[in-house]
Amino acid sequence: MPAPVVFTEALYKQYETGAGALPVLRGVDLTIQPGEFVAVMGPSGSGKSTFMNILGCLDTPTSGRYVLDGNDTARLAPDQLARLRNRFIGFVFQGFNLLPRANLLDNVALPLVYAGVRKSQREARAQEMLARVGLARYATHLPSQISGGQQQRVAIARALINRPSLLLADEPTGNLDSRTSHEIMDVFSALNREGRITIVLVTHEADIARVATRLVNFVDGHVEYDGPTADYFAGTLA
């Protein structure tokens, strides 16, 4: 069996507030194998967002271990975490988060800038990624000149350009209408099925979560359910 992409052990996170320590994650153990498509659900305040931020190396746990594709992240400096984000993780956000002043090609190529890839190669790869999400002819457009669904495709292209081990999507359809949402979800499942890309997707819509094969449900800082998506929804319906 290959090494897991994500391995967390007794992951614990608390925030210091004026009223004292507020625990958000209370010991999360989770292992995600390469090629899995995991949906993370849970009510707000359940800790799913915090968990995602830690998976994305944007935040660090108070205690516990997190190993990303063989890299133990516990004692890494900010710049080393930046390197992990650059090489191992692709982000897709709810609000697309494209740079408004840069054209689509530059947006997609941006991770390669920080990876130190040469300009000619950057542009060739970015053009290729744009073609894969069907937006090749918009390369010189600005994000504001295309639709939300198209922007999210650009964001997916940007997330994938550095061939990450893990694609993290945080409510990727939250700002889209239902038809566009399904188009985006089709892109994700195609990437997972055909590209063997490991995807972790946060959503609060059951409809969206159903696309994933595995579902992790957070309640009150714990993993309350972890298993096949189909079983979870079968259970709730019953």
Partner 1 sequence: MIFSMLREAFRAMAANRLRTFLTMLGMIIGVGAVILMLAIGQGAQTQVQQAIASMGSNLFIVLTGYISAAGVRLGSGQAVSLTISDARAIGELSSVAAVAPAQPGSAQLVYGANNWATQVYGTTPSYLDVRDWRVARGYAFSENDVRSMARVALLGQTVIRQLFGEEDPLNKVIRIKNNPFTVIGVLEAKGQSLDGRDQDDQVIIPLSTAQRKVFGAQFPQSVRFIMVQAKSEEAMAPAEKAMDALLRERHRIQPGMDPDFTIRNLSAVAEVQAASTRVMSIMLGAIASVSLVVGGIGIMNIMLVSVTERTREIGIRMAIGARRRDILLQFLLEAVIVSIIGCLIGVLLGVSIAALVANVSGTFVVVTAASLVLAFAVAAGVGVFFGFYPARKAAALKPIEALRFQ
Please report whether residue 4 would count as binding partner 1 according to CB under 8 A. no
204 touches partner 1 (CB under 8 A): no
In the chain, the amino acid numbered 148 is G
Count residues near partner 1 (CB under 8 A).
28
Site map for partner 1, 65-84, x if CB under 8 A? -------------xx--xx-
Q: How far is the CB of 117 from partner 1 (least distance, A)?
A: 9
Nearest distance in Å: CB 97, partner 1:
5
Within positions 114 to 143, which residues make up the interface with partner 1, using CB under 8 A?
A: 114-116, 119
Per CB under 8 A, does 99 bind partner 1?
Answer: yes
Supply 55's token pair. Answer: 């998976």
Can residue 53 be called a binding residue for partner 1 (CB under 8 A)?
Answer: yes
163 binds partner 1 (CB under 8 A): no
Instruction: Determine, following the binding rule CB under 8 A, whether residue 18 of this chain makes contact with partner 1.
Output: no
3-state SS string over 95-139?
Answer: CCCCCCCCCHHHHHHHHHHHHCCCHHHHHHHHHHHHHHCCCHHHC
Cα gap 112→87, rounded to integer Å = 9
Residue 111 as a binder of partner 1 (CB under 8 A): the answer is: yes
Of the two residues 1 and 44, which places its CB atom closer to partner 1 in the complex? Answer: 44
Which of 14, 33, 59, 213 contacts partner 1 by CB under 8 A?
A: 59
Task: Please report whether residue 87 would count as binding partner 1 according to CB under 8 A.
Answer: yes
How far apart are CB 220 and partner 1 at their closest, in Å?
21
Binding site for partner 1 (CB under 8 A): 53, 56, 58-59, 78-79, 82-83, 85-87, 91, 93, 97-99, 101-102, 106, 110-111, 113-116, 119, 158, 162
